[in-house]
Amino acid sequence: MNIGTASEKSGLPAKTIRYYEDIGLLRPDRADNGYRDYSMSDVHRLRFLQRSRSLGFSVEECRQLLSLYGDNARESADVKSIAETKLVEIDRKLAELTELRNTLRHLVHNCHGDSRPDCPIIDGLSGRTQTQ
Amino acid sequence: MNIGTASEKSGLPAKTIRYYEDIGLLRPDRADNGYRDYSMSDVHRLRFLQRSRSLGFSVEECRQLLSLYGDNARESADVKSIAETKLVEIDRKLAELTELRNTLRHLVHNCHGDSRPDCPIIDGLSGRTQTQ
DNA sequence: TATAAAGCTTCCAGTAACTGGAAGTTCAAG
DNA sequence: CTTGAACTTCCAGTTACTGGAAGCTTTATA
């Protein structure tokens, strides 16, 4: 499929998809006319990149995670250790996102929605979980 | 407190803290010696920035979210609508993070950790939740 | 079949969000 | 009183895109 279709399916702009190719994150086929030709597997990689980037992982972290995906030459002990490291980080992100969501929910439910400017729960946004 | 302390407490490098001041995300006091002087409330803002940036929100989104925090002049209808918009996004991020975590967990538990290179569950990384 | 529009190509320049380093000032310890 | 760490500003470099020009290919319409 052409880059436009891959863009639609992955949620990434065509520009970004070409950039990811430049920096070696994927290597699509080329058709006879010179157009890039994306496989379903390329689209999977792209979707994965879209997701993990939007969740705050750097491109280099995504590259690591992608190396888990479909790289049969890699040793599974290595795979396991990378995955375990990322799991810790993901759990932290999950906790923080959950806290942020709860705060905003509280905000939405407890604020009046009219023009009264007192929303004292907003303090929670800074996440006073640990002692300060 | 000085920028070094604020950096420790917020988890942000001093460089980044100065940069956030440059782009108007906070406005700490200045001591007589010219040093920046951070209040606890500044640190809250910084911690919030650290978190939400690492969760994939852009600086401009953070600015919006920060406008919820401690801005008494803002109308609460406005606050509510911003918060509601962000809630949808946060829920999506939560779902994606959860899925990513499940995939990696599966990976960690099902791969042998030795040198056998077959980890077929890795496909899950692309998140085939919706039909393709 | 002509031709215009849409989609693709490369390349180069610009932006967002930092990040590193130089050069100088101030503070805290010995 | 001096040495080193921490602070200041400023400017240049990096990462991860993003926009636009100039040109080729495909597709839709007259």
Token digits of residue A128: 């006073």
Residue of B72, B83, B127 with shortest CB distance to A47: B127
The confidence score (pLDDT) of residue A31 equals: 96
Max intra-chain CA distance, chain A: 64
Beta-ladder partners of B29: B37
The confidence score (pLDDT) of residue A121 equals: 38
Is 50 exceeded by the pLDDT of residue B6?
Answer: yes
Dump pLDDT digits (tens) for B17-35.
Answer: 999 999 999 999 999 999 9
The confidence score (pLDDT) of residue A7 equals: 97
Dump pLDDT digits (tens) for A19-60.
Answer: 999 999 999 999 999 999 999 999 999 998 999 999 999 999
* CATH code for the structural domain at B1-74: 1.10.1660.10
| CA of A40, C1' of D25: distance in angstroms | 24
Residue of A70, A112, A122 with shortest CB distance to B122: A70
Is 60 exceeded by the pLDDT of residue B112?
Answer: no
Q: Is A88 on the interface with B (CB under 8 A)?
A: no
The answer to whether B123 and A44 have CB atoms below 8 angstroms apart is yes
Site from A50, A93, A102 to mutate, B interface, most B CB atoms within 10 angstroms: A93
The confidence score (pLDDT) of residue B103 equals: 77
Query: Given an 8 Å threshold on Cβ–Cβ distance, is B125 in contact with A77?
Result: no
What DSSP designation does B56 have? T
Q: Is B25 on the interface with A (CB under 8 A)?
A: no
The answer to whether B57 and A96 have CB atoms below 8 angstroms apart is no
Beta-ladder partners of A36: A30
The confidence score (pLDDT) of residue A23 equals: 95
